[in-house]
Amino acid sequence: MTEKCNKFEALFTFADEKTLMEHIAQCEDCRKEYEKMNRVSELVKEVKPHYKKDKFKTVKVACVMFALLIGGTTLEVANTNYNILDSVKYGQQFTAEDLGFQTDDYGLLMVDGE
């Protein structure tokens, strides 16, 4: 039983093209590995344009969703906190006393118990 050649990766990474091709011409194991790598490379080249398009669409959708999330959250906080909304609209915060309601010493609304 013979050992499988394990020089392909080292030659592919560190050797020049001529040395690699000479070894592939002599070694059956490395030739099979080279053919597998070429098939994978061709598949990647075939799929690459489609992948880039889909990735760009995904990024656009993610940006829109992020903007909607942040915008919706900001508007919800502004709508539930009337002091912020008053500051944005009128430049100041209105109190119940400013709006003409009867208030006690603490600024709470006075309600008649009739």
Q: DSSP readout, the chain? A: -PPPP--HHHHHHHS-HHHHHHHHHH-HHHHHHHHHHHHHHHHHHHHHHHHHHHHHHHHHHHHHHHHHHHHHHHHHHHHH-HHHHHHHHHSS---TTTTT--B-TTSPBP----
Main-chain dihedrals φ then ψ at residue 36, nearest 5 degrees: -60, -45
**Is residue 1 pLDDT above 50, yes or no?**
no
- 11-62 confidence digits (pLDDT tens): 888 888 899 899 899 999 889 989 998 998 898 888 877 766 666 778 888 9
Average pLDDT over residues 3-15: 84
